[in-house]
Amino acid sequence: MRPINYEAITAMKKCIQENMVTGKTCLTLRSITEETGVPFQTVGRYIQQFIDRGEIKADDEYGYVLTEMAGKINRVKGVPLVGNISCGALSIAEEDITDYIKVPEKLISDGEYFLLRAQGESMINIGIEPGDLVLIRKQSYADPGQVAVVISTEFSDAGGTLKRYYPEPEKHRVRLHPENDTMKDFFVRECIVQGVAKKVFKMRNIE
């Protein structure tokens, strides 16, 4: 009968627990070996024992999780980053997916979402700065005053912009309001709403 290696057990469980917090990888037997220095065969043997005793369980996202902490995981999901959106002058809204960024699932449970990277300073009064990632709920309408991604059909480049959306049906136009005291409103006769902003991520808070 092999002696119990308590040091290896502690190191493995610590590795699993830390990964549940950071979510940096989907753990495998090999990655646990690399993280802890515990021999591969030992890792495999103890992992199976942990599973048999109900102490850990397999997980599609994290690889392995501690059973007692499984219900406390902040699940994340990859959301497509589809380029840049202007927070200044109207410019092209790129539709090519450039990356997938993980965001908490609870923020995107009610529809289809995408991320856009802000450019310009027209929305700085509400904390949207150049380089920020703006979480957009994809929809074809916006309520008055919502921050929306708008495509204007009146511009030759079919440019897109992020502004507060104020329809003015009595004047047959839409007012696009920048949140910057030095900038004036845009007025367009026709436009298409691509979605509404739900949250802003500073890069230091999402990487």
Annotated active-site residue in 57, 77, 86, 122: 122
Residue in 101, 108, 93 with CA at minimum distance from that of residue 138? 108
H or E element at residue 16 = helix 6-22
Q: Show the beta-strand stretches assigned E in 105-144.
A: 113-119, 133-138
Q: Is 13 annotated as catalytic?
A: no
CB-based contact 19:57 (threshold 8 Å): no
Annotated active-site residue in 14, 91, 163, 202: 163
Residue 128 CB burial class (10 angstroms; 0-12, 13-18, ≥19): buried
Reading the block at residue 167, the tokens are 């329809």
Residue in 142, 147, 139 with CA at minimum distance from that of residue 178? 147
Q: Is 122 annotated as catalytic?
A: yes
- Give catalytic residue positions: 122, 163
